[in-house]
A and B are shown apart, each in its own frame.
Chain A
Amino acid sequence: MSGRTRLTGRLPDTVTAWLARGVIVFLYVPIVVVVVLSFNDSDVTYRWAGFSTRWYGVLAQDTDLLSALRVSAEVGVVSATLATAGGLLAAMGMGRLGPRGRALFSGSLFLPLVIPEIVLGVALLSVFGTLKASLGLTTLVLGHLVVTLPYAALIVLGAHRALDPALEEAATDLGCGGWQRFRLVTVPLLKQALLASWLLCFTISFGNIVMSTFTSGVGTTTLPLRVYSLLKTGLTPEINALGTLLVLFTFVIILGAGLRQMRRVLVGDGTD
């Protein structure tokens, strides 16, 4: 027994290893279940009735669901792009502020993170109501920006602060005006953070329900809202088929580019 030699109060390595495996299984079992059940030849999601791909056919015909998917994708792309651009601008602007202004500015940027989303949603809806703005894609994007911008700012500001300030000075010293320095040095150095921010914001926007409930209008139902309403009428394996396709899509993206950068920025596991 190695128990005598290891009196550090840590769990034995084998236990830790099994715990880790358990967590992984817990995280991935639902995904596997979704994929399996999408090939279920039954009208209900939870009872297995043999293999079939018919729900993929149903999905391909379901214009309601597909248009909701399209709305979500559009809103996700636009708000992730705007939020990331906003985060970058915030990082640039931060450098020009004094220490007091900096604290105030970053405080107000991150405040929405600790305000319950439902409060933000209600507040935003009142603003739109006061302005007599009709709910639609624009209000949806604005709502998602309120939710995603703090995350984008968190990631991009953090990465910018971690840069050696001498790098940007060196660019200036070697002849870069403001725009050249931004294009040739700042953006390339923040590339990974920008990518991570974009992916995170897209994911947040794509899965968002609360803010969407307040800011979507007629004809701009997002995918989560649509799925949520289907819950009341009864889910079919069509949802699993959609889920499977989304999982596949996510894996392609993550394996393609995101995973390494995402981990590097979020966990700070810098290997370069």
Chain B
Amino acid sequence: MSTNPTAPAVRLDRVGKVFGGTHAVRDVTLDIRQNEFFSILGPSGCGKTTLMRMITGFEEPSEGTVELGGVPATGVPAHKRDLNMLFQSYALFPHLSVADNVAFELKVRKLRPRAQIGDAVREALALVRLDGYGDRSVAQLSGGQRQRVAIARALIGRPSLLLLDEPLGALDKKLRAEMQLELKKIQREVGVTFVTVTHDQEEALTMSDRIAVMNGGRVVQVDTPEGVYERPASRFVASFIGTSNFLSGTSDGRVVAVEGLGALPVPEGGAVGEAHLSVRPENVGVCGREDQVPPGHAALRGVLQQSVYLGSAVRHHLTLGDGGTLVAETSSADTAGLTAGGPAWAHWRPEASRVLTE
């Protein structure tokens, strides 16, 4: 397949997939740029794997079209697509040695003369820091090593796109953190577009250039990690990525009036009408008296239920006047003058809050 270097690596246009009458993926339109590290993030069952399988060609979309590098992929069988996939189970061939696994694509696609395959395999294994492991059998490797072999095998043919389905799902926490950085480094080194699927928001935030957040088969927001975190487009995104406090009320574009709590200033130019004010716990300060609230801050009076020491921060749970709760996280130094069961004021800069209509 000849591809256009300036076209997006992947273009999905109103793509949908129906399984037995229900939509697993619905109306997804999105571009994945060349050489970016793109993540698809969403809760279990939201259609991430299905979306990815339509890009690889293992599933044909029921609706819409997929373009790869500017070329329509409709009808192009999976084995003819210029992309590779990293399977969640790694799918290493148990009957082949590490080197033969890695060399597999070169032999099948006849990408290199036989004499050069050995060098290419050594190079690919060096990329994933497994020099000298070529003669091992796959069964002799640890989980992390298997994954590295799978990465080497997927990258040896220099695909223009690598799709990774929950690449770190099977690893323990420490190895995960290591591999997150490693994957990012490999991606920069080889300059291949990476598309990963994950339901781990921290993983998506650490690794990605951009993130598509999915829910119920739809892509609900596409943005940079900072964008989806700081400027969530909906209540779902605000609560799925990190945690947020929500206060429901009516917005006039300058303040949100919350019944029973009063009017809270919000950033200018926000939505008007029924809305949710969303604010992250780490942006909320807590103090014991109203006169300690910094000028210009939105403030709410409540009762401090408890403060939990988290090491680097303290998390305060407040009960508000309308019976709802609000969570604030402050640095440990700010706890003076607060007692559990006593009155407390929660406050935040209006710019740190968001007005969400859905």
Contact = CB atoms under 8 A, between A and B. Distances in A.
Contacts, number: 56
Contacts of A185: 93
A-side interface mostly: helix
Interface string A161-199: 000101101111111110010001100110100000000
Contacts of B89: 164, 166
Contact of A176 (B88, B95, B108): B108
B95 A191 contact: yes
A173 B108 contact: no
Range for the number of chain B residues in contact with chain A: 20 to 34
Contact of B94 (A173, A184, A272): A272
B85 interface: yes
Nearest to A164: B89
A167 B109 CA distance: 17
Interface in A28-61: none
B94 A177 contact: no
Contacts of A188: 93, 95
Contacts of B95: 188-189, 191
A174 B87 contact: no
B105 A169 contact: no
A175 B105 contact: yes
Nearest to A192: B95
Contact of B105 (A164, A174, A177, A191): A174
B104 interface: yes
B115 interface: no
Given A174-B104, A174-B108, A175-B109, A169 B139 contact: no
A175 B154 CA distance: 11
A188 B78 CA distance: 22
B216 to A, nearest CB: 25
A189 B93 CA distance: 8
Considering residues B58, B91, B109, B154, which has the most beta carbons from chain A within 10 angstroms of its beta carbon? B91
B56 A173 contact: yes
Contacts of B109: 174-175
A114 B93 CA distance: 37
A173 B93 contact: no
Contacts of A189: 93-95
A86 B78 CA distance: 27
Contacts of A175: 79, 105, 108-109, 157
A172 B87 CA distance: 12
Contacts of A171: 93, 104
A191 B157 CA distance: 28
A166 B89 CA distance: 7
A179 to B, nearest CB: 11
B244 interface: no
B148 interface: no
B78 A172 contact: yes
A184 B93 CA distance: 10
A173 B84 contact: yes
Nearest to A177: B79
Given A164-B89, A180-B108, A184-B108, A174 B84 contact: yes
Interface string A253-272: 00000000000000000001
The 6 residue pairs across chains A and B that have the minimum distance between CB atoms: A170-B91, A166-B91, A175-B109, A174-B105, A175-B108, A166-B87
